[in-house]
Structure 1
């Protein structure tokens, strides 16, 4: 399961990032679950389920249509798992909203189709188990053919292709081999078998990773929400994983968190290697940036970095009492020195604009005229803001658009939520409420680093490959040999993304401005149109 440890979250919250549609999820509620029901394409069922695409009928246990409804659309055998009420009820309650929620993110998905058979299982032993044990046993209830890793895909089309192939394999498994699913009496043995297989797979994966590391001396990892430092070969930089044991050469601390302290970067020199937190580099009071964008580390010359050591190596951090505190409070007559990491933990502030000055907890200029309540919600993650803190809580500079009585008068954001948004958006960072780009300067003054780069979705390799396709992408093109020039053979692109080109005949539209491709025809995304 290729989920980077640094992406995983301890808490579940509704995920609004770019990866929302890149994991297999329920097409009705857009939530994720270890148990997924994938049904054959059906126009009637798609309309019944609320306007889904007929070939994207993937449901969580809570959204799966009832047995009597499914029988109206399919000819399903009585022993099919999709008709087993007790099984479906046991699989409910494990849904979550963040694909990186650590509790479930590494679990394989259990894909169930109309061909799956679970009627030979005795559910009495499962119903009395606590949720965690029940989840473990349910994960190994059906034969291994149903298990698929929780992976990140390029988009909805790739997910659809994977599910289609997997469903065909499940059908062949039952129709050809006539394998009977394991009963509860054999579940424990099955769990042991799968555990041993998983351990062996992990060991082989580890060996493969070590082999890759030995062969690729300039391997670039992506430990944070999105690597915002240019990892281009021209810069000769490496972004290290948070698992790296190296200490930062600036603050001499080993703690790493790309969201809070910036990526941990490595620069090879002739005689030694320089490693540091990117925000330690930006915030260092006596670290000068004299080079061009491609010199040293994004303008910080290695000679200047090395020369700055003598200015702060003997300075003691006011918070942890350790040496090499590179930041001095810019308030006149204040003698506090601190590490960026310690400052972050103790309500210090670095303003990522102008000269990038820093303030200690006592002298920072940020104040809230109207403090928020503990139960006020962040307008990005919709979690409680907790105790008012002018450093970790950032107020919008506009009024909310909604005039409903239930809505607050002021929009609030967690600093970390805004930082995650800034890493993703780059140049396109704007107020999440009113979309005003001037909000970027307001965020920088409150300690949010907004990278000057393209948005992450524009940097992905092959992100726009479908836009440049000038052939019909319909699965069964009706006009593969049609004469070019007729109106119905005109190729039209999706009005949302410009991709997914189809003949107007294949798309079933008369107006070329009304075509929406399958990837954009999401139950939630379609509301924008």
Structure 2
């Protein structure tokens, strides 16, 4: 961007009100023809707005943002494939899915965090599809990283079992806290099989005991 263009945008934004927080300085306008909603980038999640981080970097308000057209979920599982907490039973701004396997569901904030951790290794946490999945996530406003997976640059990592040491579930039920772990039982830590960048205690997850074999233990 040229300096004069940046200054012009700043002057114009100073006159615009964010439709989410109602404060001045909104520099982003919905690119849908005829829509004049403006907002701040930090306010976008609260207003369920989307910015596509590629090409023309288009932004959309809640009404005109791109929508995922996924088939109804075949299974009755209502858990996020990343954090294992409950997700909505339908696709929304906060609940997204994989367009390839159709069955995977995850929170927007979970897949965004996973995308930044995984970098060039980013893929569906369930079917492991990469290119079509990445393209769809970009279109839906997930910001990707071109860096190597974050765990590869951590000098303290000795094996994939040591990549994470904290319970990431929304609510931790363990009396010993999020850092506590045991070799077996309800306080054993399970790591995500796809990235091992997130984990949860067995009891703090929404998985039944008989699904233990599908998750990696960190002990």
TM-score by length of 1: 0.28
Task: Give the SS at the match of 1:418.
Answer: helix
Query: Structure 2 CA distance, aligned partners of 1:362 and 1:387?
Result: 20
Deviation at 1:311, TM superposition (A): 2.7
Query: What's the CA shift for 1:337?
Result: 0.7
What is aligned with 1:327?
Answer: 28
The one of 443, 449, 456 equivalent to 2:137 is 443
User: Does residue 10 of structure 2 align to residue 309 of structure 1?
Assistant: yes
Alignment map for 1:254-293 (pairs within 5 Å): 288=1
1:397 and 2:99 are equivalent in the alignment: yes
Corresponding residue of 2:120: 427
Distance in 2 between residues matched to 1:348 and 1:362, nearest whole Å? 8
Which is richer in helix?
1
List aligned pairs for 1:178-257, cutoff 5 A: none
- Which residue in 2 is equivalent to 1:352? 53
* Shift of residue 421, structure 1, vs aligned partner: 0.7
Q: Which residue of 2 aligns with 1:414?
A: 107
Q: 1:443 to 1:307 in 2, by over 3 A?
A: same
Quote how far apart the aligned CAs of 1:319 are. Answer: 2.0
- Could you say if the C-alpha distance between residues 332 and 441 of structure 1 is closer, same or farther in structure 2, counting changes exceeding 3 Å? same
Deviation of 1:411 (Å) = 1.1
Partner Cα separation in structure 1 for residue 124 and residue 50 of structure 2: 21
Q: Which residue of 2 aligns with 1:501?
A: none
Measured after TM superposition, the shift of residue 323 of structure 1 is: 0.6
Corresponding residue SS for 1:442: helix
Pair member with larger Rg = 1
Q: Does structure 1 conserve the Cα–Cα contact (< 8 Å) formed by 2:66 and 2:140?
A: no
Classify the secondary structure of the residue corresponding to 2:44.
Answer: helix
> Secondary structure of the residue that 1:413 maps to in structure 2?
strand
2:85 is the counterpart of 1:386: no
Contact 2:70–2:97, Cα closer than 8 Å, also in 1: no
TM-score, normalised relative to structure 2: 0.63
- Bigger relative CO (Cα 8 Å, ≥ 6 apart): 2
Which residue in the other structure is 1:452 paired with? 146
Q: Tell me how far 1:458 sits from its aligned partner.
A: 2.3
Shift of 1:313: 1.6
Change over 3 Å in CA distance of 1:318–1:347 after alignment to 2: same
Structure 2 unaligned regions, length at least 5:
159-215
The correspondence for 2:79, drawn from 367, 372, 377, is: 377
CA contact (8 A) 1:326 1:338 kept: yes
Partner of 2:64: 363
**CA RMSD for the aligned pairs?**
2.9
